[in-house]
Chain A
Amino acid sequence: MYDVLIVGGGVVGCAAARALSAYRVNVCLAEAADDVAFGASRANSAIVHAGYDCEPGTNMARLNVAGNAMFDELCAQLDVPLRRVGSLVLAFSQDDLAALQRLYDNGIKNGVPGVRLLTAEETHAMQPGLSDKVTGSLYAPTGAITCPYELTCALCSNARENGVRFLMGSPVTDVRTAGDHLTVTAGEEQIETRFLVNAAGIHADEVSALCGDESFSIRARKGEYVLFDRAASGFAKMVLFQAPTAMGKGVLVAPTVDGNAYIGPTAVDQTDKDDTSVRPEAIDELTATASLSVPQLPLRSPITLFAGVRAVPSTGDFIVKRSEKNPHLIQAAGICSPGLSSAPAIAKEVVELLGEAGLVLEEKADWQPLRRRPKRFRHMSPQEKAEAIRRDPAYGRIICRCETIPEAEIVEAIREIPGVPSVDAVKRRTRAGMGRCQGGFCMPRVMELIEREAGIPMEEITKNGGASRICVGVSREEGQA
């Protein structure tokens, strides 16, 4: 019998798992996919929002501002990149300036630190290369960037180290109440648990309905992005929003913690919750809107397109509460933007809600909040590199040339993956294959290492779990070369 079963291995589920791992409670996390960070957590804007955007008084406003403040400690503990680059909301007209004033007022009400309005001159001085049509901006120094899938993987890894069980490839298909607990079918397993935390992202309404709570629904809204080559990405130093207008929320131009820049997202409502394809027209839509902010986009240097699906709740606000229909159910549902920013605060609140529901929360004396792992090779000084290779020669074998990822880090990642290792699961944890060759050189090497470390034959290795096999069989002329 588990005390808590968390359904969903996105950033919210993993943050809740890690937060609960500090207490003497028995926790399991069930995820439908073969890896964590498989839904919206792997494809979003990677921004820790300051928190002026949300309506005062909402869960979104409260959890965003609280979550933002928790990021420095969290990222330091988990060795996840966080850069407080600051954000600007750009105005292009008199009407836009009025919109900025409203956002500023929201910011003050929401308790966002340091937020202020800038003139056009101040704006251009802060971020060169902006359109000369920019008439002013709203500056938020606490706006930050991080890496959402790296954070999710790190939360998972740290939670596992502290005793949380991760049950991968196990979609929840049935929930029954049995006296003082629930019996949950997750994949092949029947799990008995006192509480269920619903962090199932885009499918959270379905999980809630299985628990007898149909008080909300989740709509899918796709966001598409264009990511640029690092060499051409100097144009975005800060997170650049556009003032919200009647026409929409505009498109972002922002840097990533890895030194790339992107434009996005679009906002496309769709009925298919799992459709992450990029529409052909998205590229022109994005470039047209983003070039209002930055006219000189490096349109000849893209490295990839991607899309994520946000879970938009019918209630218009994050649903973080104990269910009124099922006392065993704690909702962490409808977590669209600013979900990443709010995740640490949502996790904290989930723990509090469980406590209020009767879970005894006794702190572990031996909780290990630090993710203990070696410094990344690419960040080491020459002396540190020399030392690392002396300690483990696998640091001297560079597998991913574009991102300088040694074998040692790939092996470490393969061991860290909670489910069946795949090429993309390694990529999410190491960046191998994220560079300009997009895995053209290193994918076969990564496959060799997965075969060696995890014992999966080459022809059975997948790109990203499920049926995404990279090869369809063995070649006829095996071994000829």
Chain B
Amino acid sequence: MRHVQVAVIGGGPAGLAAALKAKEAGAESVLILERDKKPGGILQQCIHNGFGLHYFGQELTGPEYAQRFVDRLEGTGIELKCDSMVLEVTQERRITAVSAADGLMEIQADAVVLAMGCRERTRGALLIPGDRPAGVFTAGCAQRLVNMEACLPGRRVVILGSGDIGLIMARRMVWEGAQVLMVCELMPYSSGLNRNIVQCLQDNDIPLYFNTTVTNIHGRERVEGVTVAQVDPATRKPIPETARYVECDTLLLSVGLIPENELTQTTGALMDRVTNGAQVDELRQTTAPGIFACGNVLHVHDLVDNVSREAEIAGEAAARFALGQVKNGKTRAVTVSGGVRYAVPQRVNEDCEKLELYYRVGSAYKPAVVRVYAGETLVKQQRKQIMTPGEMEKISVQLEPGLSDIRVHVEQA
């Protein structure tokens, strides 16, 4: 069995940043296991601009953003194995993986960083009835087809869900000469970034209908049309009188991302039912000692810049754990109240002094006030002009030593 100090599962933006930071923090041997043919993860198919404004201070395409990290691997001694699929990670940090080149690999790691990313919610998960023809794609799958396989997925397109990939694909399909008829969003607000709504939809005159969904798919072989209906905002049930048939050959789904945590579960790490990721401390350590998680496998991010930053926290901590510098003692819980859906990390070590909390709200607040409490004590308060579920929020707080719970609270200002 092979031994490494830090094993990173996934060579997307999170895995690359974590590995680089782990090396920088003193880990001797760092191994990245990536299942695709090359590193970069989903960035490889995101050929549009808009990545890196926060991290690099300039706008890059997805592949360019990834390449910056790949270039930095050079000379570090970090080992990158592509085409390598991890089948299992145990609580004891034993990894089983396969690849064509290496066969079956068994690796004992001192610390593991989980960076497997996320997948898209599918038609089946939404229970959309009707026929099951060709022409129904998740937005990311259609993106891969058009950007990497040079195939055009359709000519008359309806998009369900206003997640960022759906918005980006709306514009991409227009550039390909397709007609994008509409974007339907079940909720009264978009889950995508405002800049994408403006640049991808408004600039191309694509209507965005809120409180609207697709209730049926028609077409035996290829999609011929969909039924679109408004929903009652209170129950989110379709209103039958508003149903109408829209002729189209393609339905793209951008209805949410789900962290890919199948491997995490075999480690026994406790999960967060809201994020669908592991519960972590401020080092991004799961409840399985020495197993860390970062990026979209931990919680779904809207900006890759935040993924890179989070991964650096996890990578550095993983190296320190491997070197015996992390002592797992008592922790204080992080809870949420008011309009906050979730916060990461979910717990904090007692010696943590400066805490950066990432959180999301469950509906739009305009304006909003956010408060952070330690026990009953208000430790920070901020006012924000607007908070929406589509944008991840961050707040930094100084902590006094102690074990009282931390609570993040948002309400209408």
Contact = CB atoms under 8 A, between A and B. Distances in A.
Interface stretch (B121-129, B292-300, B399-407): B121-129
Interface stretch (B100-108, B282-290, B351-359): B100-108
B152 A447 contact: no
Interface residues of A, number: 62
Interface string A207-232: 00000000000000000001100000
Given A438-B122, A440-B120, A471 B145 contact: yes
Interface string B356-367: 000000000000
B124 A304 contact: yes
Contact of B149 (A277, A279, A458): A458
A244 to B, nearest CB: 26
Contacts of B155: 472-473
B385 to A, nearest CB: 34
Contacts of B188: none
Contact of B148 (A274, A282, A385, A481): A481
B152 A471 contact: yes
A386 B150 contact: no
A396 B102 contact: yes
A476 B129 contact: no
A118 to B, nearest CB: 34
Interface stretch (B202-210, B213-221, B326-334, B372-380): B213-221
Interface stretch (B130-138, B193-201, B337-345, B386-394): B130-138
A386 B218 CA distance: 46
B146 interface: yes
B150 A474 contact: yes
B100 A397 contact: yes
B124 A227 contact: yes
Contacts of A390: 103
B228 to A, nearest CB: 13
Given A444-B149, A471-B152, A481-B148, A404 B138 contact: no
Contacts of B154: 471-472
A180 interface: no
A389 B104 contact: yes
Contacts of A278: 129-130
Nearest to B216: A280
A394 B132 CA distance: 31
Contacts of B218: 277
Interface in A425-481: 436-441, 443-444, 447-448, 458-459, 462-464, 466-481
B60 interface: no
A263 B85 CA distance: 33
A280 B129 contact: yes
Contacts of B409: none
- Which of A305, A401, A437 has the most C-beta atoms of chain B within 10 angstroms of its own C-beta? A437
B63 interface: yes
Which 8 A/B pairs are nearest by Cβ-Cβ distance?
A: A304-B124, A463-B134, A396-B100, A393-B100, A386-B104, A471-B151, A478-B150, A398-B85
Interface of B: 35, 44-45, 47, 63, 83, 85, 87, 96, 98-104, 106, 119-120, 122-125, 127-135, 138, 140-141, 144-155, 175-177, 215-216, 218, 220-222, 249-250, 262
10 contacts: A276-B132, A279-B129, A396-B103, A398-B98, A437-B122, A470-B153, A472-B249, A474-B151, A475-B150, A479-B150
Given A443-B141, A468-B133, 5 more contacts: A274-B220, A305-B124, A440-B119, A464-B221, A474-B150
